[in-house]
Amino acid sequence: MSVRHTCSFSPLLVLLLTACAAATSNPSAGNGGSASGGASNGGTTNGGATLGSGGVTTSSGGASAGGTPSAGGTPSAGAPASGGASGGATSSGGVLNAVGGTSGGAGGSSAGAAGISSAGAAGATDATTPVGLHGPLKVVGPQLVDSHDAPVQLKGPSSMWLNWESQKFAEDKQGLGWMRDNWKASIIRAAMGIDTTDTDDYLSAPATAIAQVNTIVQNAIDLGMYVIIDWHENNADKHQADAISFFTQMAQKWGSYPNVIYETFNEPTTQAWSTVLKPYHEAVVAAIRAVDPDNVIILGTRNYSQYVDEAAGDPLTGTNLMYTLHFYSCTHTQALRTRGDAALAKNLPLFVTEWGATNADGGTAKNPMLCLDEAQLWHDWMNTHKISWAAWKFDRCADKTCYFNSTQVIPTTGGWTDDMLSGHTPFVRDRMRE
C-alpha cells in the first residue's frame, strides 16, 4: 500500500512551500494466511499421498514413476544497491535497477520497488548485515561474487511450502533476525507452492501466496539479508504464462533491491532440457530482464534439479544466471557430486537452493535416518567451490528435515534452544555458523 503525503497551506505559510515538495511511497507487504499441514519435502505427505522420491507414491500403494529419487520434493527489499538510486516510482512503468539505473517499461506506473522503508535502507547500508557487507551480487564464470568481486557463499533456511506451514516461521521478522545474528544466516528462500492439493497455493489463491512472499521479501530487506523467490513445483512448464505474470510482478515490486534472487522452477522431473526446460527458462528470464536487468536468476534442472551436467552442455545465454542442484545425503552421494564437477568444469554456476541430511523424501517416518557423514562430504564440496545453499525446511513437523520438533509449539520469534531442534537441524545450524 502506498502512502501519499499531501500538504495544505495559507498565504501566511507560503514560505513553507518547499517543505511540501517531497512525496514518498513505501512498499507494504501483506500477510496472507496459509494452510496448516505436516508436509515433508521430497515426499510431501498430504491426504495420504507422498509426492516426490522419484515420482508419486499413492496412499493405496500405487506405482512409483520416474526411477531416480527426488532431490527433496516438489510443490515445494533494504535500499537499492551501490549507486544509490533514490526511492519513488519511475515513469513509464520502469523500476530502479540494482546499480541505481532505470529500466523503463511500457505503460503504467512502477509497482512499489522504488519505495524504500527506513528499516530496509538501514539493512542494506549497515555493513554488519549480509547485504551491507556484500552488496549487489553477480555471476563471474562459475562463481557467485559480491560487489567487491570476491566469491561469496550464502547460507540459510528454505521455508516450508508456504501453503503448508504449520507455523509462520518464515514470515516472522524477529525470528529471521535472530537466525541471522545467532546462526549467521545470510539468505532465506521463500518456497511458494504453485499447484498442490491445497486451496492456498498460488494457482488457487494467488493473493494469499503473493502476500506471504512479499512479507518474507520485505523482512529480508529490512534485515539486510538476501532472499530467493522460489516458484515451487514440478510442472512449471505447464504454467508458463502464470510464472511470467508472477515474476514480472515480483521484478516490478522488488527488482531494484540487491537482496532479491529469483528461482524460476524448483524441481523439474523428466522434462527434456533443450526442448522444454530451456525454452521455459528463456521465456521467464526474458520477462524478468525486461524489468530487472541484473539480479541473479536460478534455473531448475532435469530430474529434480540434479542433471546440472546436462544443462552445462546447452546453457542459456545471459548474465547473472545460475543453475539449481538439490541433494539429500542419504540418497544422493558421490555420483551426483560428479555431475556437479562436470558442470563446474564447463563454467556452469551452481546454487544448492535445497538440501537435507536425510532421505530424498525429506526424512519421513518411513525413512527417519540421518546421513551426517555424507552430508559433511557435500559441505566440504560446496565449501571448496564456494557454492551457496538453503537448507530444507524452516518449519515444525515430524520429518527429520523440519527444523523444529512436532511435540511442542515453538516460538517463531527466535531464541531456539537445542531441545527445540529436530532431525538434521543441529547440523544445519553448525554449517551456517562456519
| Residue spans of alpha helices (H) in 19-88 | none
Active site residue 310: no
Q: Is the bond leading into 393 cis (omega within 30 degrees of zero)?
A: yes
Q: Tell me which residue of 234, 240, 188 sits closest to 213, measured CA to CA.
A: 188
> How much is the CA Rg of the chain, to the nearest whole Å?
21
- 368-to-312, 344, 383, 397 alpha-carbon distances in Å: 34, 32, 27, 13
260 SS3 class: strand
- Close Cβ partners of 279 (under 8 Å, ≥ 6 residues apart): none
What's the CA gap between 350 and 352, in Å, rounded? 7
Q: Tell me which residue of 351, 395, 400, 399 sits closest to 372, measured CA to CA.
A: 400
Number of other CB atoms surrounding residue 413 within 10 Å: 14
What's the CA gap between 192 and 186, in Å, rounded? 20
Active site residue 354: yes
- Close Cβ partners of 305 (under 8 Å, ≥ 6 residues apart): 71, 266, 267, 268, 324, 325, 326, 353, 354
Q: Is the separation of the CB atoms in 194 and 75 below 8 Å? A: yes
SS (H, E, C) 378-426: HHHHHHHHCCCEEEEEECECCCCCCCECCCCCCCCCCCCCHHHECCCHH
Which of 165, 171, 263, 354 is an active site residue? 354
What's the CA gap between 52 and 224, in Å, rounded? 34
Which of 165, 267, 310, 374 is an active site residue? 267
Catalytic residues, by residue number, are 267, 354
